[in-house]
Structure 1
């Protein structure tokens, strides 16, 4: 049994993997979940080479039965959940006239409903022990709806409201719930492929480095209860806000 587990839901190649590395370095066993678990193998190998215990799981976080089963398996087979990070994005731009009900619902399922399922199951285990950290990844759309992002903004606003309610309910039980607003472009493959000036911006610290961003998640988990942060805004110095 592990001394503690950090579960990263939505462990993508950039932010999610960076968060996993940082929690592994802090001494927690990493459990990483995404819909295509074979894409986690490079991260798993990297962590194991460094003698960090790590496990990869397949998960569609919109499916209640899968979420419940994953948490049960981790608690029974790996260790007690100390940190759960919900990092699913669903950032799909589309004009309101092109947004049919199916697309809207799918984005809401991924970015909001899945957060409810994952947050609730984390609370089930953590409330029994009176300790734990639940972290939700937000975006600019969490606090400001932009043209062409009605579905995404509504889902991210909902996720933020969920996090606020959970923080107020679970804080007295010694469970730290926090919401991280990433109000900027992040250094990902998609950004590098679609923004010609990405390299120049990185040289000027104009794009968020996933590794530096991930330090904030570990910091939030390690905060003393007398100084908890609920919402943390992250952006480069040059970003407008």
Structure 2
């Protein structure tokens, strides 16, 4: 029996949400297409899955480039080597940085939008084009606190993430009745991953034990969304540490 196939877009360091989602779906017998912009990082994630007995391949992809996204989905939907066409797509691409609004250059604002919103549109569109004929599938978008509210210094991030949320909502209304489960996951808090530990070690230390979201529990939530019965689908959930104020 062919393995189910999952595509995860926006995979970076092994201690990150994208990589954790890849590992979680691989444990359930999925073949993973590990897509990201840095060859060394996606090779490492795919290699870890293979070493653990799973099935994965690294696909170098800049999700903001239409031709590369189309090529990724062409590969994902081509059955072969014991795997079925993909029926799970996770979009996890984003970048984040605090920037004074007065110093925010137009090109940088657009760059944030292209990575977190425009790329999500491309991934969502291609997923819809490929999954609707199958009459089934799951598409999950990674959101953030900024999907719901803007904070000082994060206008560029909030604008992109809020736009992505609207893409997810519109897709859910379009394609839910056609059998495609579209969900948006708001990660409301700091993530205990390589990015935050590298960029803000003092903040990580200040949060203390259980003050950050673990990447493996986040990945577990994604798997549970995929497994939901269609009579009780989640369109949006928020995840946060129990100590996080909101």
**Would the TM-score normalized by the shorter structure come out above 0.5?**
yes
User: Map of 1:1-241 to 2, 5 A cutoff?
Assistant: 2-13=2-13, 14-76=16-78, 78=80, 79-193=84-198, 194-196=200-202, 198-199=204-205, 201-203=207-209, 205-241=210-246
Q: How many residues align?
A: 240
SS in 2 for 1:76: coil
With 4-13 and 217-226 compared, the bigger mean Cα shift is at 4-13
For residues 197 and 66 of structure 1, do their structure 2 counterparts lie closer, same or farther at Cα, with a shift above 3 Å needed? closer
Deviation at 1:197, TM superposition (A): 5.5
Partner Cα distance (2:9, 2:112) in 1: 16
Partner Cα distance (2:231, 2:78) in 1: 32
Question: Which TM-score applies when normalising by structure 1?
Answer: 0.95
Deviation at 1:41, TM superposition (A): 2.1
Contact 1:2 1:80 in 2 (8 A): no
Partner Cα distance (1:160, 1:197) in 2: 27
Contact 2:12 2:38 in 1 (8 A): no
Partner Cα distance (1:101, 1:186) in 2: 28
Deviation at 1:100, TM superposition (A): 1.3
> Mind listing any 5+ residue stretches in structure 2 that lack a counterpart?
none
Deviation at 1:69, TM superposition (A): 1.1
Partner Cα distance (2:45, 2:196) in 1: 21
SS in 2 for 1:141: helix
Moved over 4 A (4+): none
